[in-house]
Structure 1
Amino acid sequence: MNKSFGKLRTFGLLIPILWKISGAALVILIGITLAQAFIPIAQLALTSRLVEEAALLFQGNSDQGMRDVQILVGLQLALLLSGALLGGVFKYTQQLFNQRATLYFDELLSTKVNRLPLSYFDNHLNYDRLQRTSFSMQLQGIGIIFTILTMIQNMITVIGYMVILFQFHWLLSLGMLLLVVPMLWSYLFESKAMFKLIIHQTPDERMSSYISNLLKSREGAKEIRVFELASYLIDKWKRIALRNVGRLLALERKTIGITYSVQLFTLTLLSGMLLFALHTGANGGLVIGQYVALAQALFSSQALVQGLAQGYSNIHQGLLHANEMISFVNLPEGNGEEGDQVFPSPIKQGITVEHLTFQYDGAPGPAIDGISFSIGAGETIAIVGDNGAGKSTLAKCLLGLYAPDKGSIAVDGVEYASISSSSIRSRMSAIFQDFVQFPFPVWENIGLGGINEIANRHKLQKSSEEANTASFIQKLPQGWDTVLGVQFDGGHELSYGQWQRIALNRAFYREFELIVLDEPTASLDPMTEAAIFENLMKLTNGRTSVFITHRLGSCRFADRIIVLKDGCLVEEGSHDALMIRNGEYAAMFRKQAGWYTKEWEEQSLGV
């Protein structure tokens, strides 16, 4: 009972969505469905009359002769033409609805994904759910309405046939009802088993899709060729694909056996009904036209009843997928409950971090644990530490991308939890290690940093001059209009260092109160890095900024340095103070300095 109620509830939630996509198209589709449902019934009645009139005509017993036959043939032709016309309109309207539904669900999915907390993407199970939801939206969410319409059409036609059969004998109507039960059971079994298989195979499907895309991608092409990985990856992909195929075929073998048994029963029952009709006709209970109509009704009903059972099964499976979709759409957004205050602008006092703790789902321990420090207004802070120390996690908490499990972050005394997430995002800027290389024109690549002024060419030019990207932009084939990357026609590839400078320019194009730079110069040569950092100090002068780096020489540009180890804050201070302390930072600095010559150290780092 609860399951049935759940399906009805899901269907009730789905209807407003489908109506929103195109209510007019739904009305047209329903109207055509109802009209098409009565055409077979009318054809059956006309066929019975036509056969009877033709028999009388052949025997020379017809009063009207050829005229009645011609009228009946004309009516049959009119029904066929009407059915063809309605079918054409239905097909066009269905295509219209499909296209609108695809756009609607794609937009709905993309919008929802970008409203979920960033931590959602730290759990592999959520990737499985996301893929299933995408499948549910694109196929099941759209297809369920057409399955329902087909069922309504078939149901009306079957009821009409049952009325006709009942007029001949009530046992024929009962026999048709008996056709439904085993078919319905077999199709329901198959739909439930298939849905379970889809859920079970989602991780393998994702991995198979990833490897397939990797083999065809530009990003993977170099290493695949250098390390001769093609055969290995293809074999790995085939193993996964064949494993999935094996599971599917095993299910098919099981369902084929059930389906064959059900068909044997239904065909035996149908044959019995035909023999019963013949027996009735032989005893004078039927004329030839009635028997032809009866036989046509029985043969047509078998296919229609099978369609009804399969349709119900498809609806059952579709509602399971629709429930996945609706559950995903109703996931809580943002980082939980949030306030409605506005991010202070400009920052006057600074940012305070108190006892901050954050742990990833499934991780054995916290990524950052009980961290406390402050950032003064306009201060530049460097965060350093070994890999896995918690630097990037801390940065994402400062940006408001992660909500801490314990502790708090406050700006000018106002806690992040009291500020709306949109207000926090509007006052932040960042460049990450894995920044996006948009295959768009240069102006758009940079302008995305300030979406409200994306096409302000004057501001773009000024920003590029401040970020020292103007010189190489001018040398590109179409200047600001050059499409970057080679994925699309007319694109021009940049070096990774140039891409990084574009990303930096994008970050500084935005109006911000806090900027976080995660390894902003990781792919640049030492001379360019020094020049970039000098420029960064100019760009961040008087603006609150945090940068993460492994190259400790650049930390001398920072007002203060925060040293993390195993998720804990172990040291804090200026470069000189930390070197005098001779602790964790000093050890890391001296070890890294040993990579360079003494002359380079003296000239560039002043060691």
Structure 2
Amino acid sequence: MILAIRYVFLSCPIRISALIAIIVLQGLIPALNIFMTGEIINGLQTSATSNNDLMVTIGLWCLSLLGIQLMQPLVNLLQGDVTEIATSHFSGRIMQRMNSSFSLSLFDNKERYEQLEFLKKEAAYRPLNFIICLIYTFRALVMAAGLLVVLVKYSGIGSAICALSVIPLILVNLRIERKYWENLLKNSKDSILMRYVYGLSMDKSYLQEIRLYGLGKYLLEKFTRAAKSMHERMHKQRIRALLMPIPASILSLLMLFAGVYLFLNTLRNSHLAVSALVMVFQSIVMMKSHLDEIATYGVNIKSTSAFFDSYHSFITDEIEPVVNGEVALPHHHPFSIHIAGLYFQYPGRNSPALNGVDFSLNAGEKVAILGDNGSGKTTLIKLLLRMYAAQHGSISVSGIALENLDIEHYRQQIATVFQEYGKYEFSVGENIALSNYEAEMHAERLEALIKQVKFPYALNTGLGKQFGGDELSIGQWQKLAIARALFRNANLFIFDEFSSSLDPETEHQLFMDILALNTTVIAVTHRLGNIKAFDRIVVMSEGKVIENGDFTSLMNKRGKFYDMWHAQFQSVMSEAV
């Protein structure tokens, strides 16, 4: 819990400090009000009290009431600021932690991925719940302490027993909340499934297939099963929360009865006026109410603080296998690449994705990488981009070991088009230039790229219905992704099945544009229509390079490439006939 308080405090220390000070003052005012009430009663009973003294006492009593009225809006103001700032702070820190990771390893670790999904879901309200519970508990604690100070002078033992009557409830609530948290972790898997299935059902890009194959009912059944499983666990938890406190509540009530009896028995011989006794009794009732708040909100602090344990682990644990280097390669010099004995296996897989890959690329060379699905092509690209760290073997770029390169600088010199490219619902210009977008500076170049990829919208057009922009087809999004890559003056251009949704004419034109670039080009592709334009062809199978040469040499070899070529083009010729 201390860890949680530290993280919350650091999110906005000035406002939280001010809020604590105001709450302390707010918590003391009711006790002051009751004390002044007692002073008024005592003054009325004492003939020696002057009118001036009585007026001062009544004035302080009125000021205490005014203070109660004025403090709450100020608390609401600071509490609102704290909750908004802290909530956005924690979500921002999770985003920052994600951005600080060089690789994709986080998503291949099952426990880390589930942790990330849990944090994404909980970050929107867990810090808020914690802050609210902390504020309410602290305020109730201050108010109860203030009232206890007033009551102790009448009966110390009775007041102490009344205060201690809350302990059984706190203990049982801790057990309830601990079980609730265990169920919450179990529910996270069902919750992830529910969000995923719900998202599929609402995603326009899936609806056509869902309608065609009648998946709607199947997805609804999966959603319902997960929801039912989660409901059953939480219903049992709520039943437990209903029944478990009953014995503790009875014990607490008996302790309160004993405390009040001792308290009033002590007052019986104190010769207090009836009005003073009413004030004391009201103080006991108020203190009990605040103690109950402590039992409720204080226990919630304990359970919600578990979020911060997971948050702390995610923020501080070392999970990055890719180590950054310091070397920066010169700009405008096409990369040469040498790969030797490269080996990589994904966690939980039975066989390696790459198993001793060897080949080289000369600076400015255009190389196509072919192979069946699962042959290791995309994994090889990910290692070249330092999305993963090789487990054995080496990669050098322009004579420098890959691990010695400054990753950010290195990646800025690479242009890529992936199969899964980003569809950013910003303007067209932002989609192409991204973080480098400056409309006035880049307008001419961006307009030329839009024309080159035959994109039909203007530079400042907003995209995506989420923000009231235009909806694009898959092919149009793909054109934007290609324009994004062409925007960079890269030393290495990588595209992985970049033209799957383009019409043949546009595909051929962009293919030729890319191969005409004065840079090193690597293309992962299954479409062999333009394959003769490459300087060299590398064929992969089961994580190894099995063929490496130009078009003519590989055709003469009559191996895997020869079979792929004839399988594809015999199929095309048969369809034409």
Report the TM-score when normalising by structure 1: 0.88
Alpha-carbon contact 2:176-2:240 (below 8 Å) kept: no
SS in 2 for 1:221: helix
Alpha-carbon contact 2:334-2:520 (below 8 Å) kept: no
Aligned partner of 1:486 in structure 2 is: 465
Aligned partner of 1:563 among 530, 539, 542: 539
Aligned partner of 2:38 among 48, 71, 76: 48
Aligned partner of 2:238 among 233, 249, 252: 252
Q: Does 1:228 align with 2:207?
A: no
Aligned partner of 2:94 in structure 1 is: 109
Aligned partner of 1:582 among 558, 561, 569: 558
Alpha-carbon contact 1:563-1:569 (below 8 Å) kept: yes
Shift of residue 251, structure 1, vs aligned partner:
1.4
Return the alpha-carbon distance in structure 2 between the equivalents of residues 353 and 418 of structure 1: 15
SS in 1 for 2:571: coil
Shift of residue 206, structure 1, vs aligned partner:
0.9
Aligned partner of 1:591 in structure 2 is: 567
Aligned partner of 1:95 in structure 2 is: 80
What letter corresponds to residue 535 of structure 1 in structure 2?
D
Return the alpha-carbon distance in structure 1 between the equivalents of residues 250 and 51 of structure 2: 43
What letter corresponds to residue 499 of structure 1 in structure 2?
W
What letter corresponds to residue 216 of structure 2 in structure 1?
A
What letter corresponds to residue 501 of structure 2 in structure 1?
S
Alpha-carbon contact 2:368-2:522 (below 8 Å) kept: yes
Aligned partner of 2:7 among 14, 23, 41: 14
Q: Does 1:502 align with 2:483?
A: no
Aligned partner of 2:416 in structure 1 is: 430
Aligned partner of 2:112 among 122, 126, 142: 126
Q: Does 1:341 align with 2:317?
A: no
- CA distance 1:450–1:371, change in 2 (3 Å): farther
Larger displacement relative to structure 2 (36-45 or 186-195): 186-195
Shift of residue 284, structure 1, vs aligned partner:
5.0
Aligned partner of 1:84 in structure 2 is: 69
Q: Deviations over 1:517-554 (max 9, x none)?
A: 0101112233433233222222x3x3111111111233
Aligned partner of 2:528 in structure 1 is: 552
Aligned partner of 1:160 in structure 2 is: 146
Alpha-carbon contact 2:353-2:542 (below 8 Å) kept: yes
- CA distance 1:592–1:174, change in 2 (3 Å): same
> How do residues 524-563 of structure 1 correspond to structure 2 at under 5 angstroms?
524-538=502-516, 540=517, 542-563=518-539
Alpha-carbon contact 1:115-1:333 (below 8 Å) kept: no
Return the alpha-carbon distance in structure 2 between the equivalents of residues 128 and 596 of structure 1: 45
Return the alpha-carbon distance in structure 2 between the equivalents of residues 397 and 255 of structure 1: 51
Larger displacement relative to structure 2 (416-425 or 255-264): 255-264
What letter corresponds to residue 508 of structure 2 in structure 1?
A
Alpha-carbon contact 1:44-1:297 (below 8 Å) kept: yes
Return the alpha-carbon distance in structure 2 between the equivalents of residues 110 and 64 of structure 1: 66
SS in 2 for 1:483: coil
Identity %: 27
Return the alpha-carbon distance in structure 1 between the equivalents of residues 62 and 207 of structure 2: 61
Q: Deviations over 1:263-312 (max 9, x none)?
A: 11112222233333444444455432332232122212222222223343
- CA distance 1:26–1:230, change in 2 (3 Å): same
Alpha-carbon contact 1:162-1:176 (below 8 Å) kept: no
Larger displacement relative to structure 2 (281-290 or 389-398): 281-290
Return the alpha-carbon distance in structure 2 between the equivalents of residues 225 and 598 of structure 1: 32
Q: Does 1:522 align with 2:515?
A: no
Alpha-carbon contact 1:448-1:454 (below 8 Å) kept: no
Shift of residue 333, structure 1, vs aligned partner:
6.7
Aligned partner of 1:28 in structure 2 is: 18
Aligned partner of 1:391 in structure 2 is: 377
**RMSD (CA atoms):** 2.8
SS in 2 for 1:434: coil
SS in 2 for 1:564: strand
Shift of residue 64, structure 1, vs aligned partner:
7.3
Report the TM-score when normalising by structure 2: 0.92
- CA distance 1:146–1:577, change in 2 (3 Å): same
Aligned partner of 2:393 among 407, 410, 424: 407
What letter corresponds to residue 252 of structure 1 in structure 2?
R
Q: Deviations over 1:211-255 (max 9, x none)?
A: 222222322322233333333322321221121111111112122
Shift of residue 334, structure 1, vs aligned partner:
5.2
Aligned partner of 1:174 among 160, 166, 178: 160
Alpha-carbon contact 1:516-1:545 (below 8 Å) kept: yes
Return the alpha-carbon distance in structure 2 between the equivalents of residues 12 and 483 of structure 1: 42
Return the alpha-carbon distance in structure 2 between the equivalents of residues 594 and 126 of structure 1: 47
Aligned partner of 1:187 in structure 2 is: 173
Aligned partner of 1:378 among 364, 386, 391: 364
Aligned partner of 2:193 in structure 1 is: 207
Alpha-carbon contact 1:119-1:360 (below 8 Å) kept: no
Return the alpha-carbon distance in structure 1 between the equivalents of residues 124 and 472 of structure 2: 36
Q: Deviations over 1:297-352 (max 9, x none)?
A: 22122222222233432332233211211211124375432221113444467111
Alpha-carbon contact 1:44-1:296 (below 8 Å) kept: no
- CA distance 1:290–1:336, change in 2 (3 Å): farther
Q: Deviations over 1:345-391 (max 9, x none)?
A: 44467111111111112111211111111111001111111111111
- CA distance 1:364–1:288, change in 2 (3 Å): same
Aligned partner of 1:604 in structure 2 is: none
Alpha-carbon contact 1:344-1:412 (below 8 Å) kept: no
Return the alpha-carbon distance in structure 2 between the equivalents of residues 399 and 313 of structure 1: 48
Shift of residue 256, structure 1, vs aligned partner:
2.0
> How do residues 261-276 of structure 1 correspond to structure 2 at under 5 angstroms?
261-276=247-262
Larger displacement relative to structure 2 (381-390 or 180-189): 180-189
Larger displacement relative to structure 2 (330-339 or 110-119): 330-339
Alpha-carbon contact 2:165-2:253 (below 8 Å) kept: no
Return the alpha-carbon distance in structure 2 between the equivalents of residues 564 and 173 of structure 1: 81
Return the alpha-carbon distance in structure 1 between the equivalents of residues 78 and 146 of structure 2: 26
What letter corresponds to residue 24 of structure 1 in structure 2?
I
Shift of residue 580, structure 1, vs aligned partner:
0.8
Aligned partner of 1:350 in structure 2 is: 336
Return the alpha-carbon distance in structure 1 between the equivalents of residues 473 and 427 of structure 2: 16
Return the alpha-carbon distance in structure 2 between the equivalents of residues 393 and 220 of structure 1: 27
Return the alpha-carbon distance in structure 2 between the equivalents of residues 481 and 339 of structure 1: 38
Shift of residue 600, structure 1, vs aligned partner:
6.7
